[in-house]
Structure 1
Amino acid sequence: MELVSPLGTRLPVPTHLLYRSQDPLVVEFLFHDPARGPVPWVISRELLALGMLAPSGEGDARIWPTGTGPNALLHLLLTSPGGLAHLVAPLPALEHWVYRTYQLVPAAQEAEALDLDSHLDRFLNGAS
């Protein structure tokens, strides 16, 4: 991905996308910050998929596509108490990645794949 400055310049940000079939409702972005290490950001898989088609999201994560074909971009505007980040990535590559997550766990089967017992156990025992 690339971080877009207020002046429009772009800086590369090494990014890993993570999807776990045990937690099928979310996608995790791990942005590599040379000073702090990986910086995680979690959004819903549905929001990411919808944002590839039209402007989507409110609050701390807003997503929208621009352009068409192989040069299309996906924009992520992420806000936190520490500031905001406007990131862009090639839309076709992200579409392919998200499509593969739906092959692993189709939208209609997310509830079946969700490991609620594990999440409840972690919550009750104080783990995040």
Structure 2
Amino acid sequence: MDKRPSAVTRAVTAHVSALQGPPLPLPAELHYEITDPYAVRISLGASIGPLVTWVFARELLAQGLRRPTGIGDVVVIPKYCHHSHTIRIVLRNSSGVALVEMGATEVAAFVQQSFDVVPAGAERDHLNLDDLITALVGRSGDSTSHRSDEHLA
């Protein structure tokens, strides 16, 4: 019997900066679930206020470990300097831009664990379209179901 986990979560320290000001170290969490097989989540700032969660493509994060990837709201860029390897995630919304920097080794381990749960190319095997359609139809008239702290990119 296959006992693969259905989710992967990794706590990391992120260094977050806006366009002005020095980077601020914040607790962050990377999360992947089999029920949303194409997406990863990064949650930032639990210790200083409301948790802010961004949702974007797992493939974007995986490719961003090797080369600059993405356009629009989320861009992932590997960075090599002084023998340290980090990954930068640029997050944009109508309020502004934030730069999130994390250790690439931690991010790569998280990405690999997510591919252990759902291999690349097998994502569609884990989609439950009936539940997705029900959720979308059910939410169309419910203005309270939108989460303002979750950003889709």
- Taking structure 2 as the reference length, the TM-score comes to 0.76
**1:125 counterpart = 2:126:** no
Q: CA deviation at 1:56?
A: 0.4
Give CA deviations for 1:35-72 in whole Å, capped at 9, x if unaligned. 3x111101100001011110000011011101179720
Q: Residue 49 of structure 1 corresponds to which residue in structure 2? A: 62
Q: Residue 24 of structure 1 corresponds to which residue in structure 2? A: 37
Secondary structure at the counterpart of residue 99 of structure 1: helix
Q: CA deviation at 1:4?
A: 3.1
- 2: CA distance, partners of 1:12 / 1:5: 12
Q: Residue 13 of structure 1 corresponds to which residue in structure 2? A: 26
Q: Residue 64 of structure 1 corresponds to which residue in structure 2? A: 77
The correspondence of residues 100-115 of structure 1 with structure 2, limited to 5 A, is 100-115=113-128
Letter in 1 for 2:56: I
Secondary structure at the counterpart of residue 14 of structure 1: strand
The percentage of aligned residue pairs carrying the same residue is 27
- For the aligned residue pairs, the C-alpha RMSD in angstroms reads 1.9
Which sits farther off after the overlay, 39-48 or 5-14? 5-14
Structure 1 unpaired stretches of 5+: none
- 1: CA distance, partners of 2:82 / 2:108: 12
- Taking structure 1 as the reference length, the TM-score comes to 0.90
> How many residue pairs were aligned?
127
Inter-CA distance 69–98: structure 2 relative to 1 (3 Å threshold): farther
Structure 2 unpaired stretches of 5+: 1-13, 140-144, 147-153
Q: Residue 3 of structure 1 corresponds to which residue in structure 2? A: 16
Inter-CA distance 116–70: structure 2 relative to 1 (3 Å threshold): farther
